[in-house]
Structure 1
Amino acid sequence: MELDMDWVTGAQANTSAIERRVKSLPGRRSVKKDYQAAWMLKAITMIDLTTLSGDDTPGRVRRLCAKARQPVRADILEALGVEGITTGAVCVYHEMVETAVAALEGTGIPVAAVSTGFPAGLSPYHLRVAEIGESVKAGASEIDIVISRRHVLTGNWQALYNEMREFRAACGDAHVKAILATGELGSLRNVARASLICMMAGADFIKTSTGKEAVNATLPVSLVMMRAIRDYHTRTGFRVGYKPAGGISKAKDAVTYLTLLKDELGNRWLSPDMFRFGASSLLGDLERQLEHHVTGNYSASYRHAIG
């Protein structure tokens, strides 16, 4: 849609109320036993299993893809009476896209590529746009782009809109996730406004962080972004997905995020096409907690390698 500056500048954030709302969430919305196991299994299906390290190798990516295909040990799934569980996607740098696509062939698990000068987004603009096209050509069906934080910090909303719209066009048929790097935007109000602009410019998902910032996904930021998504859906009828990324490594935290999602956006968003966790170590703890549910004993974390 066209940029609606009245809508954008009308977006506000009551920080104290937001913090009070999310602080009470874990105590008011807790699940136990079989219900908790079901929520953890649901969380696994919505993980973008990620490796974004300078020392990534084709072997590491293939092992990560094997884990994406079977994220939980077969004996645990059998005890739970569940089969066919996979993660939502595998997320890698452009250089590893072809390796991941080949490793996941025939599984239906999409490959996501980080792009546009990830994580800082400060490479030459034409190269950022070209990088999107190269990743799509290599087989990535999802592109995680990073916005220029300076546009938000200086209030240059038109520039942010134009940038996001061009990134959206460059992605073609690929799913595009807009990374806001919320830890570097200065305020929750800026998060709300940047979320709305990225959705207006065509983002399929809005995502909290690259995972490389000092502060990544938090519950207050998640509440603000979910409320922006809800407002956008109410006004336009279009559903936009949400992806918290960075710092979510424990099963109990994953369940808390899903609880907030259900409260704010409803059951339709509790599916991989509408919600993803950007994580790697989270899967190991989810598998460990599921084994505890089945056996009553905690195992060593090394027994649940994620790749």
Structure 2
Amino acid sequence: MSSAPSTPAPAPSAGAPATPSGAPAATGSPFADVTASDAALRRYLHGLPGVDAVGLEARAAALGTRSIKTTAKAYAIDLAISMIDLTTLEGADTPGKVRSLCAKGISPDPTDRTAPKVAAICVYPDMVATAREALAGSGIHVASVATAFPAGRTALPVKLADTRDAVAAGADEIDMVIDRGAFLAGRYMAVFEEIRAVREACVRPDGSAAHLKVIFENGELSTYDNIRRASWLAMLAGADFIKTSTGKVAVNATPPNTLLMLEAVRDFRAATGTQIGVKPAGGIRTSKDAIKYLVLVNETAGANWLSPDWFRFGASSLLNDLLMQRQKLSTGRYSGPDYVTVD
């Protein structure tokens, strides 16, 4: 894959300050004309360069062969732990299960207090208050899925009420799902306006706002071109993070589709000066997997994204493997299966 930007930025208006790459700086809105109408938005999204699928997959595979050893591996494992959105999104979730998960997020390895905390605990809206109370003073964020997760098949007022309830209960972050039906039907402005409306619903009475993560469900978007379009659409609408998937379908995060999204956030920052985060979710279960994704981040978007502020893993079982590998590095042996908790 070429390292050149994957999309052309709009031409700067006369007198507009420019970034070193020639794109307009983040003063004003360089994309205002792009989002002025449905026709303009469609024209822009379909004008994005087509994705070279062979090149994308080859680059993702090549980066996945990088060998990370000793101190670099130890650093990568701790970084990955600090990037986890530790998640429980089941119909059988109870307050006790959520409190247990929060305790694990605060102290992932009770036998080793040097283990870092996770970035967030992600739950359904009705469990936000429970998580908020359990995490008080820990510095760990409370994330909540919303907008009729995972299918998103309900009316906009219901989606907005879902979001407002989660924010009112204390959610620091909202993970929303886009209307894939509208997107696949080419109704891009409808998707854009829905993201904007949810973003407004994230604003608290004091004017602060929960961060908004926008989930595409890449497995349902089917093509790399659609994933690139969805990435730009969400960023133009004001997403703080773009997220691969819900973890509830057959195809979730993959190295190629995450690489494509990393290229998009890199190019968006070059064009606007605004940095957007990326969250792969679903199917990332081992330390080896997590380290491959960190290599993708470093080699594609750059070191500025190697932080929980800009990159997250949506995961539940990943943490256990990271802890077991962490112990292996420190003691030289693998622990037994009862070393980590199931939740």
Normalising TM by the smaller chain, what interval? over 0.9
Q: Structure 1, residues 3-28: CA drift from partner, whole Å, max 9, x if none?
A: 2634422222111111111111122x
State the shift of 1:302 in Å: 2.9
Match of 1:51 among 88, 108, 119: 88
Higher relative helix content: 1
Within a 5 Å distance, the mapping from 1:194-209 to structure 2 comes to 194-209=230-245
Distance across 1 between alignment mates of 2:96 and 2:227: 37
User: Which letter does structure 2 place at the counterpart of 1:18?
Assistant: L
Query: Is 1:109 matched with 2:140?
Result: yes
State the shift of 1:73 in Å: 3.6
Match of 1:170 among 180, 201, 209: 201
State the shift of 1:194 in Å: 0.6
Corresponding residue of 1:215: 251
Distance across 1 between alignment mates of 2:186 and 2:334: 50
Structure whose CA Rg is larger: 2
Within a 5 Å distance, the mapping from 1:213-252 to structure 2 comes to 213-252=249-288
Q: Structure 1, residues 107-164: CA drift from partner, whole Å, max 9, x if none?
A: 1111000000000000222101111001000000100000000122112111111111
Distance across 2 between alignment mates of 1:131 and 1:107: 26
**Could you tell me whether the CA contact under 8 Å between 1:119 and 1:146 is conserved in 2?**
yes
User: Which letter does structure 1 place at the counterpart of 2:187?
Assistant: N
Distance across 2 between alignment mates of 1:35 and 1:258: 12
**Could you tell me whether the CA contact under 8 Å between 1:25 and 1:256 is conserved in 2?**
yes
Partner SS, residue 195 of structure 1? helix
Please list every run of 5 or more consecutive structure 2 residues that lacks an aligned counterpart in the other structure: 1-28, 204-208
Distance across 2 between alignment mates of 1:230 and 1:9: 19
**Could you tell me whether the CA contact under 8 Å between 1:283 and 1:306 is conserved in 2?**
no
Please list every run of 5 or more consecutive structure 1 residues that lacks an aligned counterpart in the other structure: none
State the shift of 1:195 in Å: 0.6
Within a 5 Å distance, the mapping from 1:137-156 to structure 2 comes to 137-156=168-187
* TM-score, normalising length: structure 1: 0.95
User: Which letter does structure 2 place at the counterpart of 1:244?
Assistant: P
User: Which letter does structure 2 place at the counterpart of 1:157?
Assistant: Y
Instruction: State the identity as a percent.
Output: 47
* TM-score, normalising length: structure 2: 0.85
State the shift of 1:304 in Å: 1.0
**Could you tell me whether the CA contact under 8 Å between 2:81 and 2:319 is conserved in 1?**
yes
State the shift of 1:72 in Å: 2.6
Root mean square deviation of aligned Cα: 1.3
User: Which letter does structure 2 place at the counterpart of 1:276?
Assistant: R
**Could you tell me whether the CA contact under 8 Å between 1:153 and 1:186 is conserved in 2?**
no
Query: Is 1:13 matched with 2:51?
Result: yes
Match of 1:40 among 77, 83, 94: 77
Match of 2:289 among 232, 253, 256: 253
State the shift of 1:306 in Å: 4.9
**Could you tell me whether the CA contact under 8 Å between 1:67 and 1:306 is conserved in 2?**
no
Partner SS, residue 278 of structure 2? strand
